[in-house]
């Protein structure tokens, strides 16, 4: 099995070079080609000897993911469905024919006037099983390695016309804090000046909420932005739409978020997907405002993107703006996230779900 370039940091590359008999300056050459110039074709790495290139082709791989689908929206949003080789089955094909064994994840490039945000996945499938989300349909197939997480961000940055990534959000498939070791390893590479060079404040980890893991992240050396996927202001309703909510109450989650703020100085983002006629009523807004004012937080309101086969509706615009106005009247910093990629499979996990149901 060949080593995966994106799975190694600078020290790991040095160790790899030593083990395989390469000269000590090879790691820096590879870093410059891949991260600074965006080149992964060994034939284009002209300052490497023919012998080194031939040897590298036998012991090093750059891309583990195979592009299964690529969608582009009229607003510039780009979405990739990647298939990953099954490491538990040596010699397995990159694209597995058995859809139950297929290891597929999504990643999305979201460009705006000032930002180019890479939305990446941390797991294959999702263990949380939010009732409104396509990511968890079929459950969890496994964790992505750090290298496969980094590879997603790198690939999105190499799409035609995208340019340098400015922000990375762990808001794709999976629960990032349930894959803590690989996610934090990936963050180090994404942040490193020799890697993707993205500042900690421009990296967001979104979690449904694991209080112990939130406090563990508070001790991580990089003060990334923490986003809590709240989606309901009452425990009973939250447990109804998020099965994992049975493991922690809202009060316990907010206590952990307060600890995160005290440790890092980073304001918390409360993410709230508005589901038509379910959690978008004025009484929900009033209670959410009370919760938000117990910590240093801003609220990110997200209109639901419909998923075929799921019984949830997109809220009407009047209800969304009324919800925001109630929060703002209560002195809560609340924004409505612009809906992106509406003319493609925009919702998290939706492209994978549609591919599987149409195959």
- Give me the catalytic one of 126, 130, 348, 354: 348
Distance CA 262, CA 265 (A): 6
Burial tier of 278 (Cβ tally within 10 Å: 0-12, 13-18, 19+): buried
Catalytic site includes residue 133: no
Catalytic site includes residue 106: yes
- 74-92: b or e for each residue (b if 16 or more CB lie within 10 Å)? ebebbbbbbbbbbeeeeee
Identify which of 216, 155, 159 has the alpha carbon closest to the alpha carbon of residue 183. Answer: 216
User: What are the residues facing 207 on neighbouring strands?
Assistant: 228
Residue reference for tokens 């460009």 = 111
What is the SS3 string spanning 130-177?
A: CCCCCCCCCCEEEECCHHHHHHHHHHHHCCCCCCCCCEEEECCCCCHH
- Give me the catalytic one of 106, 151, 271, 354: 106
Structural contact between residues 84 and 98, judged by C-beta atoms closer than 8 angstroms: no
Determine phi and psi for 168, rounding to 5 degrees. Answer: -130, 130
Determine phi and psi for 55, rounding to 5 degrees. Answer: -65, -45
Q: Which positions are annotated as active-site residues?
A: 106, 348
């Amino acid at each position: 099995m060949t080593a995966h370039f994106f799975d190694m940091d600078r020290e790991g590359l040095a160790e790899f070079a030593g083990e395989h008999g390469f000269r000590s300056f090879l790691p820096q050459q590879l870093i410059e080609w891949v991260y600074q110039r965006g080149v992964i074709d060994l034939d284009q790495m002209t300052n490497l000897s023919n012998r080194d290139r031939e040897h590298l082709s036998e012991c090093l791989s750059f891309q583990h993911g195979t592009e299964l689908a690529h969608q582009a929206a009229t607003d510039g949003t780009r979405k990739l469905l990647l298939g990953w080789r099954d490491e538990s089955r040596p010699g397995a094909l990159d694209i597995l024919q058995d859809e139950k064994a297929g290891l597929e994840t999504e990643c999305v490039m979201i460009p705006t006037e000032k930002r180019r945000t890479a939305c990446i996945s941390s797991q294959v499938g999702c263990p949380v099983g939010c009732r409104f989300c396509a990511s968890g349909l079929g459950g969890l197939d496994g964790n992505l390695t750090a290298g496969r997480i980094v590879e997603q961000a790198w690939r999105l940055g190499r799409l035609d016309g995208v340019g340098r990534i400015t922000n990375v959000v762990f808001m794709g498939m999976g629960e990032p804090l349930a894959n803590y070791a690989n996610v934090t390893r990936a963050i180090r590479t994404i942040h490193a000046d020799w890697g993707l060079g993205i500042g900690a404040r421009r990296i967001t980890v979104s979690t449904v909420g694991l209080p112990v893991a939130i406090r563990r992240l508070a001790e991580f050396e990089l003060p990334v932005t923490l986003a809590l996927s709240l989606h309901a202001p009452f425990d009973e309703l939250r447990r109804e739409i998020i099965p994992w909510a049975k493991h922690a109450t809202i009060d316990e989650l907010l206590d952990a978020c307060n600890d995160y703020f005290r440790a890092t100085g980073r304001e918390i983002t409360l993410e709230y997907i508005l589901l038509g006629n379910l959690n978008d009523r004025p009484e929900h807004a009033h209670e959410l405002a009370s919760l938000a004012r117990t910590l240093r937080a801003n609220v990110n309101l997200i209109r639901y993107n419909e998923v075929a086969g799921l019984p949830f509706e997109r809220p009407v615009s009047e209800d969304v703006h009324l919800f925001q106005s109630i929060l703002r009247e209560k002195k809560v910093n609340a924004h409505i996230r612009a809906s992106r990629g509406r003319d493609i499979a925009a919702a998290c996990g939706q492209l994978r779900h549609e591919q599987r149901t149409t195959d």
